[in-house]
Amino acid sequence: MVKRTRAECLITNLPQLQNKIKRDAKSYKDEFMQQLRHFESTLAIFNLKPQDSVISEEFADQILFISHVVLCYPAETKEFPGKLIDLLSNHYQLMAPDIRKTMVQALILMRNRGVIQPTTQVLIGFVIILLGLFFTLFRCKDKVLRQILHSHIVSDVKNSNVKSKNNAMNKTLQNFMYTMLNDTNEVAAKKSIEVMIELYKKNIWNDAKTVNVIAEACFSHSPKIVASAIHFFLGTNDKEEESDDEDAQDITSVRHAFQINKKKKSRMHMLEKAKASIKRKERSKSRAEVFNFSALHLINDPQGFAEKIFSRLRQAANKNAFKFELRMHMMNLVSRLIGVHRLILLGFYEFLVPYLKPHQQDVTLILAYVAQSSHELVPPDALEPVVRAIADNFVWCNFSSEVVSAGLNGLREICTRCPLAMPEELLKSLLEDYKNHREKGPMNAARSLLSLYREINPEMLRKKDRGKAATMGLKTFKPKQYGEIDLKDDIDGIEYLDEDDEPEGTGEENQSDDEADFDLVSDEEESVLLEDDEDEDEDEDEDEDEEDSDDDEVEENEEEVKEAHESEKEALATSPIKKRKFGITGETLLTDKDFARIRERRMEVEAERVAGMRGAKAQLDSDSEDNDPSIVNVSRIISGNRKKMDYAARMETVKVKEKRNKAFMMIIHKREVRGKAQRSLFDKQRTMRAHIKKQKRKGH
């Protein structure tokens, strides 16, 4: 057997030749040119038979070899990327999946290594052609290839816009994606939409044009494309992405397992991975936050968009074109649009009335959508049929307490946004029947509706239901009419920040304030209890006395109003505008911490106002999270219903009580008892902080 020379071995061993070329490109130029000529001859044969698997295997090795060493011979390989693009454009449907994947990986490799850089106008066009080809390859029935293309397109566009916005490239790609929405291939159109959605979420394409292109996808003939676009506007997939970080291992639990278990390399690797994840989280927290408008705010014509979606929803409901789940998402989108932009779409409420029945599938979601679509500019006549339908179909003594509670909670959410939608006689009837109901769920729901109207319009309540605070405020109270808007010259709750800046008073003053607050709460509780026990005869006598004194009060009020107007005019005339006090808003810019402090103080004041009810502050804390006010959570519709415990649950509570009352010597050998003494200082501090936080939440 004749011994082969090194040059002959290099011809067949391409990985070794690749290694030699990267070390010394000049010495191995002849071998490379030989391989390049071989590639061109194989390319000519492959163009004739692109489906031949025998040629494809050898051809794939040559493509990978040249793509790795293309930086060493830029002049000789300047036409190599163009040949691959032409080959893929012409024969991507016929060639084998392996060779097609290899060619795509070679193009991605050259793009990432800077062989194809958009430095000039010609190369910008070349990059756009390359990305356009990748969008075209979404039509291939190859899931792995589509995943590779998706991740590369997103990362490539992201890297192209790192230093500054590449407007020429972005504009061309957006126009190309707009044409891809109407592609006959459903998979290609769906992947294009997913690319645009991910680029928007990564804050790369966060302009109105991207949002409106995605909005056009809501009118596609494909249910999958419609679902992707609607999920984008509703933000239903964001929570799944945010939960990915929560799945990371906790550093303390990993360290604990590392100390107990054997110290193997896998344990060390696990600990290092956990440390790296913690560092990534800290880096992400330290970055400056980027605040964007919601996608719903960037729609060019929200009224027209909502009308088109609603028309599509009606057609789908009549013909049963889409699945019920997708129709529910369309309902949600229309209601969100109406609530966010204060739109008038009267037919939407008529459309929802037949769905407002207890046996309807996902009826709690539909109740939430009705509340989302309610706002102060909706005519009360349009919402009154919805309110009456809920009252007639849900609030009935023959239904279960869960159904009645859901109906009353739904009415409360609607009336919170549109108080004029509730007729006065219906409100009085509901409160009279369920204010003192035997079941806690309907009773709590009715009382929440009662407390709402004590704040927004106590005139609609019976005198015995108004409470002391609302009765005292009736003299100065003026109910809002339809279309009336409160004009404000300052931020709500800004006085709470002014209170924080004021110096603390003496102990006697604080003590007197606390006593005053205590007296006020006790008086209010006592008045509510007394007013609930009053007879109807006494109410009628008081009503007659009020009618006799109405004329005198009106005259006194008119005189007081005139005097107030005159004093205001004199004050404005004598004092310059510069002396007006705007408080803290005129001195500093408010940060997120300031707004969080305002919310916290508002919750404290509201909890104090609720007459010391047990759990009131905790309920306010849970309700006033940093949620979007335009979204109505379903938990608010079904709240107040506590299911009865079964036998196993009752036995568990008994076991807990027995365990709590055991003698200490009987449980001293337990692991949890022995572990308390062996805890570290960090664990003890963490437990103590959690205990203090829990006590504060309970109001102690």
Q: Count the neighbouring beta carbons within 10 Å of the beta carbon of residue 580.
A: 10
- Residue 293, burial from CB neighbour count under 10 angstroms (0-12, 13-18, 19+): exposed
Question: In the listed set 406, 438, 472, which residue is the last one of a domain according to the structure?
Answer: 472
Flag the least confident range among 336-340, 439-443, 564-568, 636-640: 564-568
Q: Which amino acid is at 395?
A: V
Question: In the listed set 198, 215, 232, which residue is the last one of a domain according to the structure?
Answer: 215
Q: Rounded mean pLDDT of 58-70?
A: 90
CATH classification at residue 181: 1.25.10
Q: Rounded mean pLDDT of 145-155?
A: 92
Question: Is the pLDDT score of 518 beyond 60?
Answer: no
Q: Count the neighbouring beta carbons within 10 Å of the beta carbon of residue 29.
A: 14
Domain tally, the chain: 3
**pLDDT level of residue 458 (50, 70, 90 thresholds):** confident
pLDDT of residue 245: 46
- Spell 144-183 as b/e; 16+ CB within 10 A means b: ebbebbbebbbebbeebbeeeebeebbebbbeebbebbeb
**pLDDT level of residue 540 (50, 70, 90 thresholds):** very low
Question: Is the pLDDT score of 205 beyond 60?
Answer: yes
Are the C-beta atoms of residues 223 and 261 closer than 8 Å to each other?
A: no
pLDDT of residue 579: 37
Tell me: do 206 and 319 sit in the same domain: no
Flag the least confident range among 16-30, 35-49, 54-68, 604-618: 604-618
Residues of the chain with pLDDT > 90, as a percent, come to 27
* Host domain of residue 687: 649-698
Question: Is the pLDDT score of 666 beyond 90?
Answer: no
C-alpha pair distances (Å), 637 with each of 274, 355, 365: 40, 16, 9
User: Quick check: is 42 in a domain?
Assistant: yes
Tell me: do 312 and 178 sit in the same domain: no
Highest mean pLDDT: which range of 28-37, 473-482, 489-498, 592-601:
28-37
Comparing C-alpha atoms, which of 251, 154, 244, 162 is closest to residue 193? 154
**pLDDT level of residue 530 (50, 70, 90 thresholds):** very low
Question: Is the pLDDT score of 622 beyond 80?
Answer: no
φ/ψ (deg, to 5) at 117:
-115, 135
Q: Which runs of consecutive H residues, i.e. helices, occur in 462-506?
A: 463-472, 494-501
User: Quick check: is 552 in a domain?
Assistant: no
Question: In the listed set 472, 492, 520, which residue is the last one of a domain according to the structure?
Answer: 472
pLDDT of residue 386: 94
User: Quick check: is 484 in a domain?
Assistant: no
Average pLDDT value for the chain: 77
User: Quick check: is 392 in a domain?
Assistant: yes
Residues of the chain with pLDDT > 70, as a percent, come to 71
Q: Rounded mean pLDDT of 239-266?
A: 54
3-state helix, strand, coil in the chain (%, to 5): 70, 0, 30
pLDDT digits 0-9 by tens, 286-335: 444 444 457 899 999 999 999 999 999 999 888 888 899 999 999 999 99
Are the C-beta atoms of residues 271 and 287 closer than 8 Å to each other?
A: no
pLDDT of residue 592: 79
pLDDT of residue 505: 46
Longest Cα separation, the chain: 128
Tell me: do 52 and 168 sit in the same domain: yes
**pLDDT level of residue 144 (50, 70, 90 thresholds):** very high
Instruction: Tell which wins on pLDDT, 103 or 591.
Output: 103
**pLDDT level of residue 383 (50, 70, 90 thresholds):** very high
pLDDT of residue 371: 93
pLDDT of residue 349: 94
pLDDT digits 0-9 by tens, 554-609: 444 445 445 544 554 444 444 443 334 445 555 667 787 888 888 777 766 665 55
User: Quick check: is 576 in a domain?
Assistant: no
Global pTM exceeds 0.85:
no
The 3-class SS string of 94-117 reads CCCHHHHHHHHHHHHHHHHCCCCC
Q: Rounded mean pLDDT of 605-625?
A: 46
User: Quick check: is 542 in a domain?
Assistant: no
Conformational region of residue 698, where left means phi above 0, alpha means psi within -120 to 50, and beta covers everything else: alpha
**Per-residue tokens: 115:** 């062989």
User: Quick check: is 397 in a domain?
Assistant: yes
Instruction: Tell which wins on pLDDT, 61 or 530.
Output: 61
pLDDT of residue 604: 66
Grouping H, G, I as helix, E, B as strand and the rest as coil, residue 29 is helix
User: Quick check: is 503 in a domain?
Assistant: no
